[in-house]
A and B are shown apart, each in its own frame.
Chain A
Amino acid sequence: MAVQFKPLGECAVLVYFGNIISQEVHQSIKKFLFILEKEWCDGLIEVVPSYTNVCIYYDVLKVHQWEQDGHTPYKKIVSFLQTLLQQEVVLPKEKQRLIEIPVCYGGSYGPDLRELAQFHHLTEQQVIELHSGKEYLVYMLGFAPGFAYLEGLDERIATPRKETPRLKIPSGSVGIAGKQTGIYPLETPGGWQIIGRTPLKLFLPEQHPPTLLRAGDRVRFVPITEEAFAELEGERR
């Protein structure tokens, strides 16, 4: 698919690289973000990548003052981005990060594990093995600070959301909703099936970048005991 541009109001532009979730689209996005970072200039405010596109927020007055008379700021930003897209770059040999997330499955940390296993006619252990037995890719962050949209959940444990959302889900809870799995960075209400909890903090406002996970990371869940959970949580404090 050819790259497409759409305005998100007068202060942002969405650059689409495809319309389905795929590794290929994700790679094009990574490449584009790499060029953008390299060619960053006054007038650009911030970027927000998602599954199939990158949103670029810009300062309309500053872009209006860029050279090229007679064009609207939108046309100027699009033509600027188009020139960036023509650049041939080779992404630096990836030091793709693999982040291991220790998770204590079941019990009070994963109150929905038993029911979810029954729903799929599996044992709790089998659910844990399916969930922790593979790598996931972080496509994007959103919804809450540090919340990663992970791709790669085994279809055999894909489970609909709970009919009645819980009012409080503790931070660090690991859940399943449809074909997605994720970790709640903050205590929030929510309808995900909670199967475990990690003692790690996902949102780290005192660090830069302020999140444990970043777009492009690979993630693996590692089952831990309650004792290990308590120990890790203790270290964190």
Chain B
Amino acid sequence: MTLTIIKPGLFTSIQDLGRRGYQQYGVIVGGAMDRLSYRIGEMILEQTPSAALEFTLIGPTVKFNCDAVFCLTGANFHPLLNETPCPMWKPVFAEKGSILKLSYCQKGARGYLHIKGGIRVEKVLDSFSTYSRARIGGFKGRSLAKGDELPILPSAPSSKEKWGIQPKNWLSWKEPVVIRIVKGTEYDLFTEESKEFLVTSVFAITKEADRMGYRLAGEYPLSTKEPINLLSEAVTFGTIQIPPNGQPIILMADCQTTGGYPKIAQVLSVDLPKLAQLKPYENIRFQLVSLEEAQQLLVQQEKAFKLLELLCSKNDEESFKN
């Protein structure tokens, strides 16, 4: 039983929540860029994080070679199931032979296609996520190509298809998009002007923006008071580094495990999904918050998520409709 890739879309790859525990060996975490969309999709299908498809700017066209249940999350790629508009954020039944066509997204950048039972690929180093550079994980360690046949399990339709959820806050925004940060490990070594510019000026995402990182362009270069030569140390998803040219780089899901540029700030975990949905030429503005607040926000989000999970597992036609 398979899913055929008729058109691959852009950078379509298998992702999950990434590889944890192997960064000490230089193995990146990887995983879904917009982890919130990914997690909600897996939750809607009531499964533990499985192998799902992530696509960027242009979505794939796929054919189901067996009856299947799927769910679409993330940005809206105007999905058509057998040429009929198809809902997102809820389980959808596809009969054997159905074609799901995703086009491009006007708002947002990344979408997810989750399959009931997950795409049946093997885990490598405890994760399904594709690590292209090392050619491991996902489907043959690479982005998907036309004609790829992804193994899936057949699913029968169920009453669960009558419900869904309506996400709002991280998939809608006005420019400049406010991204919250906490101070980075070298924050204090930056000039007063640099610290000021960081939170007052607007930064544009340049076209050098991919799963590894976003290069930003600001009005003024940021610099440390004195030149510093740092030893390589741990960096992570959301770390904002300032290379010698003074223009920030935000590290994203596929970032290296260690880096040597001064780190001026770190994007809040709760704002990474929004950042992952931004495209080149969109503008952002940073807002500095305390570490305490950042942790509170994350705790709140995780508690809300747990509640949602509970509701999902108990849902029926009466509760939790949108």
Contact = CB atoms under 8 A, between A and B. Distances in A.
Interface of A: 6-12, 14, 21, 45-53, 55, 57, 60-61, 64, 72-74, 140-147, 149, 185-186, 188, 203, 205, 209-211, 214-215
A51 B125 contact: no
28 contacts: A8-B236, A8-B239, A9-B236, A9-B238, A10-B294, A10-B295, A10-B298, A11-B269, A12-B236, A46-B23, A49-B24, A50-B258, A55-B233, A57-B23, A61-B298, A72-B291, A74-B292, A74-B295, A141-B24, A142-B257, A143-B26, A143-B257, A143-B258, A145-B25, A145-B134, A186-B134, A209-B25, A210-B125
A21 B229 CA distance: 13
Contacts of A52: 231, 233
A167 B234 CA distance: 26
Contact of A145 (B27, B263, B291, B295): B27
B256 interface: yes
B291 A74 contact: yes
A70 B21 CA distance: 30
B24 A147 contact: no
B234 A48 contact: yes
Contacts of A73: 295, 299
Contact-residue size bin, chain B (C-beta under 8 Å from the other chain): 35 or more
A189 B25 CA distance: 20
A214 B267 CA distance: 31
Interface of B: 20-28, 124-125, 133-134, 136, 182, 184-185, 231-236, 238-239, 256-258, 263, 266-269, 291-292, 294-295, 298-299, 302-303
Contact of A144 (B125, B133, B232, B263): B133
A171 to B, nearest CB: 10
A129 to B, nearest CB: 29
Name the residue among B125, B182, B233, B236 with the largest chain A CB count within 10 angstroms. B233
A237 to B, nearest CB: 17
